[in-house]
Amino acid sequence: MGDQTPCEKLCLGLKKVKHYLAMVSLQFGYAGMYIITMVSLKHGMSHYILAVYRHVVATLVIAPFAFVLERSLSSSHKPIHTRITFPIFSL
């Protein structure tokens, strides 16, 4: 324990508080979205248009993470064929 470098101590400390930092970041995101929503609605934006814009922005933010993080997993997963998916979607 005493022979750790400052970088190792920092990494260990960040691992301990990672969940708390994620929750604080999430709360700032919610607060920012609330402010943007209230300002937009007070200026006369439609609820439906606001919902569409929110989904478009969420897609643009999340899609790169999905492509990058799932690319490494795609080689280990087998593709899903239509004989499996068709019964699921026909329910």
Q: Is 16's pLDDT higher than 60?
A: yes
Lowest mean pLDDT among 12-16, 21-25, 48-52: 12-16
Q: Is 44 left (phi over 0), alpha (psi -120 to 50) or beta?
A: left
Q: Which residues contact 4 (CB under 8 A, 6 or more apart)?
A: 12
pLDDT band at 84 (very low <50, low <70, confident <90, very high): confident
Say what the pLDDT of residue 82 is.
73
pTM score, two decimals? 0.60
